[in-house]
Amino acid sequence: MKFALIVALILLLLMAALAAWLWTPDRPRDELEARYAAGKDDFLDVAGIRLHVRDRGPREAPAVLLLHGFGSSLHTWEPFSDALAADLRVISVDLPGAGLSAADPDADYSDARSLEILLALLDHWQLARVSLVGNSLGGRIAWRFAAAHPDRVERLVLIAPDGFASPGFEYGKAPDVPALLRLLRFALPKSVLRMNLLAAYADPERLTDAHVRRYHDLLLAPGNRDAMLERMAQVVLERPEPLLASIKAPTLLVWGERDAMIPFSNAQDYLSALPDARLVSFPELGHVPHEEAPARAVEPVRAFLVGD
């Protein structure tokens, strides 16, 4: 009996040590803003949420709005922004509960709410029309906005966009978020995050320590992990074909053929459904070509947006 108690005590101590090692608390927002915000002017109160934005390039030039993917931030677009800002007004935004944007006070991360926020942003800047560029989740928000508000969208660039059903994401049904995934609220070791980010890259050497640190830091902003899990739980996909067929904006699809997150074969589904679309693909790239090889990926996007 004494031996059993000693074993149980050792196991409890080991479990406590493991929990202490894995526990990942939030980072102070002031600290994160000092590191990752360009300045205090990069924050707007729109639709009841404090949003982190970047707005660069000539104010009189045609505007393009960049929308990041799930778990990402506007920083994913920095190389694209640098390349586009000579000819375009380039605006990027952290979605609510991502990057440095505050969480939605109503915890509403549905697509309908995302479209409402996007419309409020355009109205805030008094932009009658804008081109949209979106990756993954941001791609789904972009094409859904183009379907809902065709008069507000000039051109559409979809980089490996989300929207078609996949394992775990059925039409008309919210997904089940695994209980293990909900532990991210309490534990997010950087090594585990790196393994997940590697799935987005075809070449693991291109995922730098700086990229991993930025993703990790911003996921630890207060409220971001809860928001990420809520956003996932609130996804209710509609069959995209009718919505895509209603889009009037000329559309450029950009895809890495080695995408391990959203299959490259989905590109043909989009081409079949969209009235005016063409595809540029990269055989050696993955889910985030704008991060993995930005100088190469931005060339066709710039030509499409600027009209070279």
Q: How many CA atoms lie within 13 A of 53 on its CB side?
A: 22
- In the chain, how many domains are there? 1
Q: What is the mean pLDDT of residues 86-112?
A: 97
Question: Is residue 47 scored above 60 in pLDDT?
Answer: yes
Q: Sorting pLDDT into bands at 50, 70 and 90, what band is 140? A: very high
- The answer to whether residue 4 sits within a structural domain is no
The parent domain of residue 231 ranges over 32-306
- The answer to whether residue 71 sits within a structural domain is yes
- The answer to whether residue 7 sits within a structural domain is no
Question: Is residue 124 scored above 50 in pLDDT?
Answer: yes
- The answer to whether residue 133 sits within a structural domain is yes
Residues 6+ apart with CB under 8 A from 118: 65, 67, 141, 145
Q: What is the mean pLDDT of residues 89-118?
A: 97
Residues 6+ apart with CB under 8 A from 85: 56, 57
DSSP readout, 236-287? -BPPHHHHHHT--S-EEEEEETT-SSS-TTHHHHHHHH-SSEEEEEETT--S
Domain of 246: which CATH number? 3.40.50.1820
pLDDT per position as a tens digit, 151-185: 999 999 999 999 999 887 899 998 888 877 788 88
* Alpha helical stretches, state H, the chain: 2-22, 29-36, 78-84, 111-124, 137-148, 179-182, 190-198, 209-219, 224-233, 240-245, 266-273, 289-292, 294-306
Q: How far apart are CA 291 and CA 284, in angstroms?
A: 13
Specify the higher pLDDT residue, 212 or 187: 212
Query: Which structure tokens are listed for 120?
Result: 């409020």
Query: Which structure tokens are listed for 103?
Result: 């969480």
- The answer to whether residue 26 sits within a structural domain is no
- The answer to whether residue 27 sits within a structural domain is no
Q: Which residues pair with 49 in a beta bridge?
A: 46
- The answer to whether residue 1 sits within a structural domain is no
In 3D space, the residue among 48, 110, 55 whose CA is nearest the CA of residue 81 turns out to be 55
What pLDDT, on the 0 to 100 scale, is given for residue 308? 55
- The answer to whether residue 292 sits within a structural domain is yes
User: What global pTM score does this model have?
Assistant: 0.92
